[in-house]
Amino acid sequence: MTDQAQAQDLQERPPIGSPFGIIAGGGSLPFAVADSLQARGIKPVLFALKGFCDPALVARFQHHWIPIGQFGRLLKLMRSENCRDLTFIGTLVRPAISEIRLDWATLRVMPKVFRAFRGGDDHLLTSISRLFEHEGFRLLGIKDVAPDVLMPAGSVTRAVPDQDAEADIARGREVLRALSPFDIGQATVVIDGHVVGIEDIEGTDGLLARVALLREQGRIRAKAGRGVLVKAPKSGQDLRFDLPTLGPRTIERAAAAKLAGIAIVAGNTIVAEPQQMIVAADAAGLFVTGLPT
């Protein structure tokens, strides 16, 4: 992105209200977003999802604990904190409806919740977001809230894709575009033009673990250091939610799968612990590159 385009992008972003609500799932990303907001003088308030958000890290910020299904309690707390702008961030395993502890406000919207669960993750998150918008809250994406945690364009590692890797990347993007209408996954592994795995409910870690196992079993005969993990949002996806994520653990899994590197869409992929990720990738000899949208 050129300097002029970056300046225009900044001007077009909506002003963010303070305090700002973060509905926080698992992992380090909610806290990276909170730190980013705090550094810009915006007060973050975390609404930490019980069973997912890290208790040790959430204590650094103003926070409230929320069980899954307590929609009325969450609305009441967000209003008491004067948080009209908010975002969802962090890992969250889709719960069974029978596991959700319902309050009265949730019961009132259960028909909409049931409909939301009858689709993929993007359908679910977009449907749930409409419930908040109906209550007068504004849902913002990470691009608007903390653009500094997104992947930049180009390679961030010493290694860069060679011609074979570039061909695998192009193949991977074609596959993900074709799968987008089915709301399945956001990642694939391509080795020497062959699609050897697609992300499903087990996530990227599970995909890479399968590729590593296939190599061990001799089902993948390509030599080590071949193949690419390609990650991209689904076509037409609501980019406020469920963006692809990359971090040190992904690097570890890609190295175990003996890939050449990782290609992700710049500006539409969240990077967790970027410095640790780059160090780990360089140590493993992997490339990590940001692709144009």
CATH number for the domain that contains residue 23: 3.40.50.20
Task: Give me the pLDDT at residue 166, please.
Answer: 98
- Res. 12: pLDDT tops 90: no
Residues 98 and 22 occupy one common structural domain:
yes
Q: Are 154 and 26 part of one and the same domain?
A: no
Type of residue numbered 206:
G
Assign 133 a pLDDT band (cuts: 50, 70, 90).
confident
Indicate left, alpha or beta for 109 from its phi (over 0: left) and psi (-120 to 50: alpha): alpha
Which residue, among 30, 40, 80, has the nearest Cα to 60 in the 3D structure? 30
Report the alpha-carbon distance of residue 57 to residue 214 in Å, rounded. 37
The pair of three-digit structure tokens given for residue 75, joined into one six-digit string: 């609305």
Nearest to 101 by CA among 58, 62, 65: 65
Same domain, 123 and 167: no
pLDDT exceeds 90 at position 116: no
Q: Which of 145, 171, 205 is the last residue of a domain?
A: 145
- Per residue in 179-227, pLDDT (tens digit) is 988 878 889 999 999 999 999 888 899 999 999 999 999 999 899 999 9
Residue 134: partners with Cβ closer than 8 Å, 6 or more residues away: none
In a domain, 165, yes or no: yes
Same domain, 286 and 154: yes
In the chain, what are the helix, strand and coil shares in percent, each to the nearest 5?
Answer: 45, 20, 40
Structural domain including 96 reads: 14-145
Q: What is the pLDDT at residue 10?
A: 40
Q: Please identify, among 80, 110, 145, the residue that sits at the C-terminal boundary of a domain.
A: 145
Decide if 7 is inside a domain: no
* Banded pLDDT at 7 (limits 50, 70, 90): very low
Residues 168 and 140 in one domain: no
pLDDT classification of 67: cutoffs 50, 70, 90: confident
- Does residue 2 lie within any of the structural domains? no
Task: Write the DSSP symbol of residue 110.
Answer: H
What CATH number is given to the structural domain containing 241? 3.40.140.80
Q: What is the pLDDT of residue 112?
A: 55
Residue of higher predicted confidence among 21 and 2: 21
Q: DSSP 3-state assignment of 149? A: helix
pLDDT digits (tens, 9 = 90+) for 143-192: 889 989 999 999 999 999 999 999 999 999 999 999 988 878 889 999 99
What mean pLDDT comes out for the span 21-26? 92
Query: Can you give the length of the chain in residues?
Result: 293
Q: How many CB atoms lie within 10 A of CB 107?
A: 12
Whether residues 219 and 180 share a domain: the answer is yes
Buried residues in 233-256 as b, exposed as e (16+ CB within 10 A): bbeebbbbbbbbbbbbbbbbbbbb
- Between the CA of residue 72 and those of 43, 108, 111, what are the distances in Å? 23, 10, 16
What's the DSSP call for residue 100? -
Tell me how many domains the chain contains: 2
| pLDDT higher than 90, residue 293 | no
Beta-carbon contacts of residue 192 (< 8 Å; ≥ 6 apart): 164, 168, 222, 226, 227
What does the angle CA 253 – CA 30 – CA 105 come to, to the nearest 5 degrees?
Answer: 120
Q: Is the domain of 205 the same as that of 242?
A: yes
Average pLDDT over residues 250-272: 95
Which amino acid, one-letter code, is at 78?
A: M
DSSP code, position 150: B
Strand ranges (DSSP E) for the chain? Answer: 20-24, 44-49, 62-66, 85-89, 138-139, 154-155, 187-191, 194-198, 228-231, 245-246, 261-265, 270-271, 287-291
Q: Are residues 170 and 279 in the same domain?
A: yes
